[in-house]
Amino acid sequence: MLIERSNLSKIMVVKPGVVLNPATNVSILEYCLDQIDMVLLMSVNPGFAGQKFIESTYDKIVEVREMIDAVNPSIRLEVDGGLNLENIGKAARSGADTFVAGSAIFNSENYKKTISQMREIISKS
């Protein structure tokens, strides 16, 4: 089903992607990586804001980045969940290039400053 929807998505000028929950093995990407434009790694269990980043996600980022680079380096590697000023740099150094940060921004006193700090950390990683 993913393959059929992926081809339809490309005709409709949208970019298909795959989301992997923390418990999902990255080997599943072997079946579809050549047909997608983005991989989203959940670094928390979906559904509850404010969770702590799952440390084993760093290894997954490295592994998925290697898989992406072998197939199509333009595929985006996004990470969502538990990102903050303390860990976003390591996520970037591990190979992620797109980031979702909710609580770290919305619980800060200055959204703009926090976003700027995150961008700065990412750019130096």
Helix (DSSP H) and strand (DSSP E) numbers for the chain: 5, 4
Average pLDDT, the chain: 92
Q: How far is CA 36 from CA 76, 79, 119, in A?
A: 9, 16, 26
Q: What distance in Å separates the CA atoms of residue 71 and residue 65, rounded to the nearest whole number?
A: 10
Average confidence (pLDDT) over 109-121: 97
Q: Which domains does the chain have, with CATH numbers?
A: 15-124 (3.20.20.70)
**pLDDT tens digits for range 75-108:** 999 999 999 999 999 999 999 999 999 999 999 9
What is the pTM for the complete model shown?
Answer: 0.87
Q: Which residues contact 102 (CB under 8 A, 6 or more apart)?
A: 49
Q: What is the pLDDT of residue 73?
A: 96
